[in-house]
Amino acid sequence: MAGDPILKTENKGFYITTPIYYVNDVPHIGHAYTTVAADVLARFKRLCGEKVLFATGTDEHGKKIQRSAEQQGITPIALADTVVKRFKNAWSLLDISNDDFIRTTEERHAKVVYEIWQRMKQNGDIYEGLYEGWYCVPDESYWTEKELVNGKCPVCGRDVERVQEQGYFFRLSKYQQPLLRHIESNPGFILPVSRRNEILSFVKDGLKDLSITRAGFEWGIKVPDNPKLVIYVWLDALLNYLTVAGFSSDEGKFGDFWPPSIHIVGKDIIKFHAVYWPAFLMSAGIALPEHIFAHGWWTIEDVKMSKSLGNVVSPESLVNDYGADATRYFLMREVPFGLDGNFSGTAMQTRINSDLANDLGNLLSRATGMVVRFAGGVLPVPDVPDQFDTALQQKAAQLYDAYKTSMNNLEFHTALSVLWEFIGEANKYVDRTKPWQDAKSGNAVRLNTRLYHTIEATRIAAVYLLPFMPDTASKILNAIAQDTKGKSLEQLARWGVAVPSVNIAQAQPLFEKKTDPAKAGPGTQGAGIKGQEPPSAPQPKIASGKQAAQSVNPSITPLITLDQFKTVELKVGTILAAQRVEGSNKLIKLDVDIGERRTIVAGIGKSYKPEELLGKRIIIVANLQPAELFGIQSQGMLLAAGDAEHLGLLTLDRDAANGTRIK
Ligand code: MSP
């Protein structure tokens, strides 16, 4: 993004929030996504030396929770107590560094809700009336007849209930123009731009007054002077952000942190945050948040996540299968923040094997290994740098701006990608400068400088990793006997901060390679050779770069015999027909002639349109066991290479008949 970054360093504390999660459901990857993103930003800001208030919590009132508790034969508070433990446990497993965990059933919160209700009332914004319309309990949202889609909730598609009840309204309509003016004059208020446009057109269409009470059930904060009614759960929930900041209870804290720097929410709840919430605040005479950022949604193996499909992925299982840091890394790296993402076991494995075990693991392993082998385990003092050394120093200097700008623009995937470019550069530096040759020739001056530079580059990489992978970053810093105590990112990012003369031992591998085919989900079959990783192998102690390492140390990719290779039947074929598989944005069903007709379901839909594929000559694995994908039997796998969005099909550069076996 050109111009100023979205988040600026200001003269006040940095206050960041996640939505507070409903307690009718246990935590899943969607909740984890928002929470990890907020945590990464909170850690980044702390690392920059800013004062941070980072809050998450639970939304415990409302009809949905009451109903869920009734179905389970327990009280709503008992349900909330149980689920809160699950959320707290999940966040602890994922290393979430929240400063507060708010529950809307807490006394401190009820006080704030009453206070705001009185303020809105005094401003003439609350009046009595009859609400007649529809209500979606799962989303806790009101809808008019016209807004329904085929009689169902337009957001979640579930059944809605007819509501006719006497209660109170909030004069939302009064805030249409002020809100419009605010959004128009503050381009960074609602992000990303697509969501801003969506909200702008929603507000321009006109705002109707909002029913802010519900009747006929108990589970909520009671309306002052009318205990038969409970306050609408979204009004109750949104005010949590005030409670956390110490509104009307801790003036100092409120002064330090209000207004919120950023609310991170999912795209489904942007209306509540970008329309209702600012209007409530305007009515109560309180400053509006600086930014509201809506992220996208995750599908699982290209399928919408839902309890009925049984494909809900929990943070606990992610941590169990992949570890906290790999999960955090994957969530932040895989998808540009703001866009929808897809979780796939294969994509996760690829990230772990390639980015974490190979690129990062290799750097630490060779950096420490060389100090042990060539310097007796003591980090040498560097000498005058040559052009290789200064080039690496310059890359580190450039990384600072690129990383910081990306982080302040909430472009986490870019921050990680520039960091990985640097890790790649550090590995290349070792490949190019070949310190083992200096060791052999006894050129101690050069050798010492190379060893110091490799460790220094590793340290700098670890510093930038701190917000994303706190445990891994600490392991790296411990392994190279360096610390970050009391220093800000700006100080730590400088070249030459690594303290020499410390003792360094060969580091343990940071990540084990994953090869579990069961974790390679269905949407990934047929994606070509790309997803298939070599079996787990120990990381080389000292190797010269990723490719070089593979030739130096064959244990990275085990060698196979010709006979083993011959067990794979690769054949030439021609694509006769291609069509997208319904319900998947990645899979294409192909009809392929390999001397006989085969149906192949291939995960190439993000790189190719079906019509581009017709007539293409391809190579397929013809003796792969058939697999069923989206109800279609796939009878083989085509070969392709590259990222999911930039796959290239392997093809022939001379003609050969369909069915010709590749030798
Ligand atoms: N309780 C309200 C929020 C009140 S904030 C004042 C709520 N809770 S929720 O538990 O249903 O959802 C919380 C968040 O999880 C939302 O931001 C939502 O977008 C996110 N996600 C739920 N499913 C998701 C995915 N499949 N993918 C990504 N995020 C998703 O709404």
> How high is the pLDDT of residue 530?
23
Q: Are 612 and 619 in contact (CB under 8 A)?
A: no
Q: Are 120 and 280 in contact (CB under 8 A)?
A: yes
| Ligand 1: centre distance to CA 363 (Å) | 38
* Residues 6+ away with beta carbon under 8 Å from 662: 570, 571, 572, 619
Q: Which residue has the higher pLDDT, 576 or 439?
A: 439
| Ligand 1: centre distance to CA 30 (Å) | 7
| Ligand 1: centre distance to CA 446 (Å) | 55
Nearest-Å Rg of the Cα atoms of the chain is 28
Structure tokens at 635: 């009878």
> How high is the pLDDT of residue 202?
97
Atom of ligand 1 nearest to the CA of 241: 6
Task: State how far Cα 370 lies from the chain centre.
Answer: 35
Tens of pLDDT along 369-407?
999 999 999 999 999 999 999 999 999 999 999 999 999
Work out the pLDDT band at 613, boundaries 50, 70, 90.
Answer: confident
> Residue 268: pLDDT above 60?
yes
b/e map 448-474, b = 16+ CB within 10 Å? bbbbbbbbbbbbbbbbbbbbbbbebbe
- Rounded to 10 degrees, the C-alpha dihedral 179/184/185/190 comes to 80
Q: Which residue has the higher pLDDT, 504 or 572?
A: 504
> Residue 549: pLDDT above 50?
no
DSSP 519: G
| Ligand 1: centre distance to CA 408 (Å) | 23
Ligand 1 environment, Cβ below 6 A: 19-22, 30-31, 33-34, 59, 237-238, 240, 265-266, 268-269, 297-298, 305
Provide mean pLDDT across the span 490-498.
97
> How high is the pLDDT of residue 117?
98
Tens of pLDDT along 95-105?
999 999 999 99
Work out the pLDDT band at 531, boundaries 50, 70, 90.
Answer: very low
Tell the residue nearest (CA) to atom 29 of ligand 1: 30
Q: HEC string of 152-185?
A: ECCCCCCECEEEEEEEEEECHHHHHHHHHHHHHH
The SS3 call for residue 630 is coil
Q: Are 569 and 605 in contact (CB under 8 A)?
A: no
> How high is the pLDDT of residue 663?
79
Tens of pLDDT along 48-95?
999 999 999 999 999 999 999 999 999 999 999 999 999 999 999 999
Tens of pLDDT along 408-441?
999 999 999 999 999 999 999 999 999 999 999 9
Pocket test for ligand 1, best of 17, 21, 36 (most atoms within 8 A of CB): 21
CB atoms closer than 10 angstroms to residue 536: 13
* Residues 6+ away with beta carbon under 8 Å from 346: 519, 520, 521, 524, 527, 531
The SS3 call for residue 582 is coil
Tell the residue nearest (CA) to atom 10 of ligand 1: 21
DSSP 276: I
Write down the mean pLDDT value for the chain. 90
> Residue 539: pLDDT above 60?
no
In the chain, the amino acid numbered 478 is N
Atom of ligand 1 nearest to the CA of 25: 10
Atom of ligand 1 nearest to the CA of 19: 5
| Ligand 1: centre distance to CA 5 (Å) | 26
Work out the pLDDT band at 545, boundaries 50, 70, 90.
Answer: very low
Starting at the edge strand found earlier in the chain, the sheet holding 52-59 runs 100-103, 52-59, 14-22, 262-266, 291-295, 190-191
SS3 content of the chain, % helix, strand, coil (to 5): 45, 20, 35
Pocket test for ligand 1, best of 18, 31, 33, 271 (most atoms within 8 A of CB): 31
> Residue 537: pLDDT above 80?
no
